[in-house]
Amino acid sequence: MIAAQLLAYYFTELKDDQLKKIDKYLYSMRFSDETLKDIMNRFRKEMEYGLGNDTNPTATVKMLPTFVRSIPDGSEKGDFIALDLGGSNFRILRVKVTHDKKQPVQMESQVYETPDDIIHGSGTQLFDHVAECLGDFMEKQKIKDKKLPVGFTFSFPCGQTKLDEAVLLTWTKKFKASGVEGMDVVKLLNKAIKKRGDYDADIMAVVNDTTGTMMTCGFDDQRCEVGIIIGTGTNACYMEELRHIDLVEGDEGRMCINTEWGAFGDDGSLEDLRTEFDREIDRGSINPGKQLFEKMASGMYMGELVRLILVKMAKEGLLFEGRITPELLTKGKIETKHVSAIEKTKEGLKKCMEILTRLGVEPSDEDCLAVQHVCTIVSFRSANLIASTLGAILSRLKDNRGVARLRTTVGIDGSLYKMHPQYARRLHKTVRRLVPDSDVRFLLSESGSAKGAAMVTAVAYRLTEQARQIQQTMAEFRLSKAQLLEVKKRMREEIERGLRKDSHQEATVKMLPTFVRSTPDGSENGDFLALDLGGTNFRVLLVKIRSGKRRSVEMHNKIYAIPIEVMQGTGEELFDHIVHCISDFLDYMGMKSARLPLGFTFSFPCHQTSLDAGTLVTWTKGFKATDCEGEDVVELLREAIKRKEEFELDVVAIVNDTVGTMMTCAYEEPTCEVGLIAGTGSNACYMEEMRNIEIVEGNEGRMCVNMEWGAFGDNGCLDDIRTKYDQAVDENSLNEGKQRYEKMCSGMYLGEIVRQILIDLTKRGFLFRGQISETLKTRGIFETKFLSQIESDRLALLQVRAILQQLGLDSTCDDSIIVKEVCGTVSRRAAQICGAGMAAVVDKIRENRRLDHLDVTVGVDGTLYKLHPHFSRIFQQTVKELAPKCDVNFLLSEDGSGKGAALITAVGCRQREMEAQQH
């Protein structure tokens, strides 16, 4: 017993001793984590060089764009053909993708031999051969009469400028067909197919095998965004943000990048890590100085590396008692499959004995142990190197996403990864150590790159079809110049109808007189109170206007909420609430005793008969208080003040916020004669000639007309440009059939239009994987401020996704692109039709004054105009295009409804005094 233990102890000692010797001997092949992290950083730098415009030409890691922009989302379906040319065999598959849960993908394939004389012959011969095999396959499948979409896996370095074109940069592996390098392989194949003339094929995508692997795995796991091949050769691809890919136009979305990482180190950046054995392998290869990383890590060279090490060790008497045989000196005698066999846990040493015996070196047990250890060091180095470069890709993905933890899936294929007994485990372990802040799932690609080509084709087919249908939907919102001129012409007609006495009653654009007869002249002076009612908040302001040299406007205000039950209760309750707020404000300012002149900004359609009398035509914006419509709101306010019996006020003017906007700007800029609100609602006013306002007595001078243009189109005159989405928004609104123009161009409704489109696109399976969430069904969820955020140029798609996530919409990158496009299209139309309306107004003023050219300023207010990133620019551009004879200057208004109301009151007081002097 003791003897056996002693023997085992002696053997372990011997083994440890032997292994330590080899460890020392191959010290330069064993990497610390520090070295691996260093390699990782070097590769990250190389990736950046490859992506940069200026650095790409000299970069060794080429980072080729593949034009594959998205991974499968599960909604793909159809019948596809995949070709796979990348080795001595050529495979053709027919791939049927269905929504059948049990078997979503059905494949039938056939392998065709590619003889050496064709591999080394001319390009024409090669592609004629491919076309012939494809014809044979289609014949057997009885699909010669169908034009099926084809995906082509072509596993050689190619430059692409679109998905269905690939220019061969250089042949690799054993291929050498002449006249193909520098040519587009799709063109060559199409030419060969055309020459036959017995079938038709639609080649939609050319894919590298690495991309094919990512896409195959992507069909099973939508998180998959990296593909790796670790076989005869090695390469990787991953989904990069388009904004980082200088070689491709556009910043939106992502694209798969084929790294071609085998060439890492070709510029000397791995010299400190390459050993004498690596150099010897490179010298004996068909492409010295090229693909140096691949030569250190891929299956093609692993057996040969082991053989070179064994030769050197034998020469130095460290193995086989110095015996060297002709077999051991023959290149290729140890293959990678031998390395895999030797490293098997149980039968490895037995296999090692067999293999070495075949080489005639008469190995001892210790020799076998030593050789097994050499194999382990060589294959472990490969796994470590690949873990480092993969780690670089993962850390880049993590930074691109800006997340604390990355969850992702890596699709892997290749004989070395699949066949070697320890390789996968070692690779996974090292990756997890190098990028600890990532949860990485490794997914083995089942049916390889050809199914991937079909997947790329399926996705391309889905995206092309989807893009076509989405563009068709969005086309209804894209208005031509002719259509916009038509909107302008109709607005002009409606303006005329509103101004004329005989048609004013039926007119939709009401053109209400405001009795504001002039803009401020700078002599206004005094203390004024202003009320501002136009939404869910109500403001009371004290405005001190000082004239003379040191003209100034000083304002104090307080904001009060209007509860929904008051908005929709009785008129008396509403006005009592308003007076209660005024009372609180006067207490707050200590001004209960003064009888101040007051301007009342009341932003609802009113029929005015004088500056201080206005009958409410109809409530808008969610107000529903009873007993107000048809009543004079100034009287309602005066009565409520009387009921309170606490203070007296002199109500001088009732003001629309649009007019207030014009007046505030006119105080700063005398040429301002138009006011525009582009916010929650949409409206405009302008100074019209008294002679044209038939419903008011007198022909002298001018008066500001409140257009109430939101109702433009209520008579059906815009129906030809209204879409089904506009109709849906109208049907779901509080005032169906009313304010149709406003519903197409104001902030309150743009988000709703977008929501209706998104619901439709989701129902059609183009968005959110066809799942309509509860959120998306909720009215008003898509606020206009989200449109502004989503359309901001500075916002990457990641942030768009974040906004959509806040709304409970789990979106992919593609979804975000579509949502962004929908938002942009809807807000662009809004700005354009709003601009068409304004063009009609400024041209009307020009014609009123019989001018060839008009210089005029428009005072503008409203959140949509102020906060949306593109609205104001598109709006101004449209006005310029549609009213070329007017030079329009746009001025942002500062508080039109507060300061503007006080200025109108001041102008009103001045007018009153002048009239009193005349009498």
Q: How far is CA 551 from CA 470, 529, 668, in A?
A: 56, 18, 10
C-beta of residue 558 within 8 angstroms of C-beta of residue 511? no
Q: Report how far residue 484's alpha carbon sits from residue 121's, in angstroms, rounded to the nearest whole number.
A: 62
Catalytic residue among 274, 462, 539, 722: 539
Distance CA 690, CA 36 (A): 84
Task: Give the whole-angstrom CA distance, residue 358 versus residue 7.
Answer: 29
Rounded alpha-carbon distances, angstroms, from residue 874 to 7, 116, 658, 868: 90, 62, 21, 11
Catalytic residue, from 269, 298, 603, 897: name it: 603
Burial class (CB in 10 A: 0-12, 13-18, 19+), 181: middle
Q: Computed from CA positions of residues 534, 677, 601, 551, in that sequence, does the dihedral angle turn out positive or negative?
A: positive
Does the active-site annotation cover 603? yes
**For residue 203, is it left (φ>0), alpha (ψ between -120 and 50) or beta?**
beta
**Rounded to whole angstroms, how far apart are CA atoms 781 and 754?**
11
CA 283 – CA 266 distance, rounded (Å): 14
Inter-CA distances, 265 with 171, 260, 271, 273, 296, Å: 20, 12, 7, 10, 10
In whole angstroms, what is the distance from residue 67 CA to residue 84 CA? 18
Q: Which of 367, 657, 814, 815 is catalytic?
A: 657
What is d(CA 21, CA 322) in angstroms, rounded to the nearest whole number?
Answer: 16
Q: Which of 836, 395, 911 is closest to 612 using CA atoms?
A: 911
Cα–Cα distance for residue pair 107/780, rounded to 1 Å: 47
Number of Cβ atoms within 10 Å of the Cβ of 409: 21
Residue 226 token pair: 């990296």
- The contacts of residue 103 (CB under 8 Å, 6+ apart) are none
Element (H, E) at 820: helix 813-848
Distance CA 207, CA 185 (A): 11
Q: Are 219 and 404 in contact (CB under 8 A)?
A: no
- In terms of DSSP H, where are the helices of 628-746? 633-644, 657-668, 724-731, 740-745
CB of 197 closer than 8 Å to CB of 222: no
Give the span between the Cα atoms of 233 and 215, in whole angstroms.
19
The CB-based long-range contact list for 116-125 (8 Å cut-off, 24+ gap) reads 118/177, 119/88, 119/174, 119/175, 119/176, 119/177, 120/176, 120/177, 121/177, 121/178, 122/177, 122/178, 122/179, 123/177, 123/178, 123/179, 123/180, 123/183, 123/188, 124/179, 124/188, 124/192, 125/177
Is 769 one of the annotated active-site residues of the chain? Answer: no
Q: Strands, DSSP E only, in 547-605?
A: 552-561, 596-602
Query: What is 419-448 written as a DSSP string?
Result: HSTTHHHHHHHHHHHH-TTEEEEEEE-SSH
Whether 339 contacts 379, CB under 8 Å: yes
Residue positions counted in the chain: 919
Secondary structure class of 561 (helix, strand, coil) = strand
Tell me 122's DSSP state.
B
> In 10 A of CB 861, how many CB atoms?
25
Q: Angle between the 747-763 and 784-791 helix axes, to the nearest 10 degrees?
A: 70
94 is known as an active-site residue: no
Contact 670, 519 (CB under 8 A): yes
Q: Token pair for residue 596?
A: 């101040």
* Residue given tokens 């031999």 in the structure block: 113
Indicate which residues carry an active-site annotation.
539, 603, 657
